[in-house]
Amino acid sequence: MSTPGRGLHGRVLDTLGPAITAGEYPPGSVLRTDELAQHFQVSRSVMREAVRVLESMHLVESRRRVGVTVRPKAAWNVYDPQVIRWRLAGADRPHQLRSLTVLRSAIEPVAAGLAARHATAAQCAELTECALGMVAHSRGHELEKYLVHDVAFHRVILAASGNEMFARLGDVVAEVLTGRTHHEVMFEDPDPAAVTLHVQVAEAVREGDAPRAERLTREITMGALQELDVLAP
Amino acid sequence: MSTPGRGLHGRVLDTLGPAITAGEYPPGSVLRTDELAQHFQVSRSVMREAVRVLESMHLVESRRRVGVTVRPKAAWNVYDPQVIRWRLAGADRPHQLRSLTVLRSAIEPVAAGLAARHATAAQCAELTECALGMVAHSRGHELEKYLVHDVAFHRVILAASGNEMFARLGDVVAEVLTGRTHHEVMFEDPDPAAVTLHVQVAEAVREGDAPRAERLTREITMGALQELDVLAP
DNA sequence: GTGACATATAAGTCTGACTTTTTGGCTCAG
DNA sequence: CTGAGCCAAAAAGTCAGACTTATATGTCAC
């Protein structure tokens, strides 16, 4: 899904990024480029490129005569897919998952409403196909296959909204859904009510019924939130 | 507000970033690091750092034997504040402003509802202060002072929601509000109804009335959307 | 046409020297 | 003792050049 270790500087980021987002270096910590370069056995040029990327994510700040200081969590670019992935892989995964689910609950209903107005025929067809796929794999411990269609469903909704900001949240939703399936309730079959809701959303979008699509999607995301409350109160 | 030209590579980004987001180099265009370095009169190391940052924003992709290719708009990290700023400064400013306003209309009502549940006493006080400041400068062509309080108001709401994803949208909302004031309706005094709504939202949050805070905020953002429809149909 | 192979190309990497900014401490006058 | 101003060290920033590596493309035999 992502692009691990593209070049040496990418390799460095793959360990330094998670370390910082995991709070291994608390905010205010000072790193020295030269030391880091030695530590990772790379040249200063490579290390500098890695630091530049971290700086563009507002994870660190590089100042002369001081060094590379870790910035407080509040400054981080938490919408950067890379940062999201790093944080989801780290210790505060539950907290992160909750934040993202709340975000979903705000975005997706509105996106579904817009999708009902703007979806093309092809998108409607794809949506229906996804919903049917979910139904087909909703029983008998076929969670992996179910997940694929679930992710695709929400991606189509977000894309069909016609809003590029919504569309770009497809990756985030995918991470959340994948994370939920793989780390929480891997064993049980999905809630039948949720499956039905997805089918109904597809219907509403196909019929251009924006309020209904929005309301139904809100039910879906509310369900996701409650599920989270049950598992991690 | 932002941090222009930190170091040579930052200077390069300040002109290359806007150029790419403005579509000056269409998707698929191939740039050569060496040529760019020559063009900007900087060393290759500096140029490489700039390219790395653009790459982390998914604006370009660097591949061996090929060069630096501009990625399609759909791949861009449109939530990166830097990218947002570049795009707002460019030609598709109206389109961008609409996308962001739709995003606001999804996020802010939910954030206000959460704020009503989680806001601290200090945040409630700050919110009321902002609302009063808006009232105080709502007449007599004091748009600049009004704007300051308006921006602060929405920042507090987003921060008080307790959700870090929402909180980080403060900058985006600030950009939208500032852009609207400076480029659209600089002359007229703000809509009195909108001012009243802000005061009422502050009330609702103070009283912990989440549904009311959400409903009122939805009215505010709906108003912003309609305003946009009138100005750019 | 198809496959293996050679070649040119542009990014990637490393090294070492040099510059610039900034800070923390030091001196010295008041 | 205090404060202003100056100095020197420290770390990032910049540059130039040599070398490595991956890979797209063209060539040639089959």
**Chain B interface disruption, residue of A45, A66, A77, A83, most B CBs within 10 A:** A77
Radius of gyration of chain B (CA): 21
In this prediction, residue B1 carries a pLDDT of 61
Kindly determine whether the C-beta of residue B34 is less than 7 Å away from any atom of nucleic acid strand C.
yes
In this prediction, residue B52 carries a pLDDT of 98
In this prediction, residue A215 carries a pLDDT of 98
In this prediction, residue B184 carries a pLDDT of 67
The answer, for B9 touching chain A at a CB cutoff of 8 Å, is: yes
Residue B31 (CA) to nucleotide C1 (C1'), in angstroms, measures 34
Kindly determine whether the C-beta of residue A50 is less than 7 Å away from any atom of nucleic acid strand C.
no
Residues A174, A162 contacting (CB under 8 angstroms) = no
Q: Which domains does chain B have, with CATH numbers?
A: 7-75 (1.10.10.10), 92-231 (1.20.120.530)
CB pairs under 8 A between A and B: 94
Q: What DSSP line would sit under B61-104, residue for residue?
A: EEETTTEEEEPPGGGS-TT-HHHHHHHHHSTTHHHHHHHHHHHH
Residues A101, A183 contacting (CB under 8 angstroms) = no
> CA–CA separation, B188 vs B47, rounded Å?
46
* Tens-level pLDDT at each residue, chain B (233 residues): 667 778 999 999 999 999 999 999 999 999 999 999 999 999 999 999 999 999 999 999 999 999 999 999 999 999 999 999 999 999 989 999 999 999 999 999 999 999 999 999 999 999 999 999 999 999 988 889 999 999 999 999 999 999 999 999 999 999 899 988 887 656 678 899 999 999 999 999 999 999 999 999 999 999 999 988 887 76
Residues B67, B31 contacting (CB under 8 angstroms) = yes
| Residue that is written with structure tokens 């009004």 in the block | B146
> CA–CA separation, B184 vs B231, rounded Å?
8
Name the helix (H) or strand (E) containing A199: helix A192-207
What count of residues does chain B have?
233
**Chain B interface disruption, residue of A1, A79, A104, A157, most B CBs within 10 A:** A79
In this prediction, residue B140 carries a pLDDT of 84
> CA–CA separation, A111 vs B100, rounded Å?
13
Q: What is the mean pLDDT of each run of 10 residues along chain A (233 residues)?
A: 83 98 97 97 98 98 97 96 94 92 98 98 98 94 93 98 97 90 74 96 98 98 91 69
The answer, for A168 touching chain B at a CB cutoff of 8 Å, is: yes
**Token code pair at residue B157:** 């709401």
**Token code pair at residue B38:** 């020559």
CA–C1' nearest nucleotide, residue A43: C14
User: Residue A69 region, left (φ>0) first, then alpha (ψ -120 to 50), else beta?
Assistant: beta
